[in-house]
Amino acid sequence: MSTIELTRFKVSEDKADELLAARPGMLADFAADRTGFVGAQLVRLPGGEWLDIVEWETPEDLAASREKGANLPGIARFFAAIDSLVTAEEGTLAA
């Protein structure tokens, strides 16, 4: 079963375009550098909040990705547009 990473964060309105522009580079860097990365969905919520739903093959793949942090330019650019973390959770895809 896949591991799902749910990260909710805040982005100021003046950085929303920057976040969206950085997204393709972040996804490309994840695909090239993160073992077990399956895909991701980005959801814009009210009040300047966003939810990133990322699928990993295993919990170990997610843990290894967290260890790497913003190690590549595309990932660093995306993370730089984030003002603050709200929550970070993980779970197992049920269906």
Instruction: Specify the pLDDT at position 88.
Output: 97
Q: Which CATH number characterizes residue 79's domain? A: 3.30.70.100
Number of domains within the chain: 1
pLDDT, tens digit, 9 for 90 and up, residues 29-69: 999 999 999 999 999 999 999 999 999 999 999 999 999 99
Q: Could you tell me the pTM of the whole model?
A: 0.94
Mean pLDDT of the chain: 97
Cα–Cα separations (whole angstroms), residue 87 to 7, 19, 36, 49, 50 = 6, 18, 22, 11, 11
What is each CA distance from 39 to 12, 29, 70, in whole angstroms? Answer: 25, 12, 17
Domain span at residue 44 reads: 3-92
The whole-number pLDDT of residue 95 equals 81
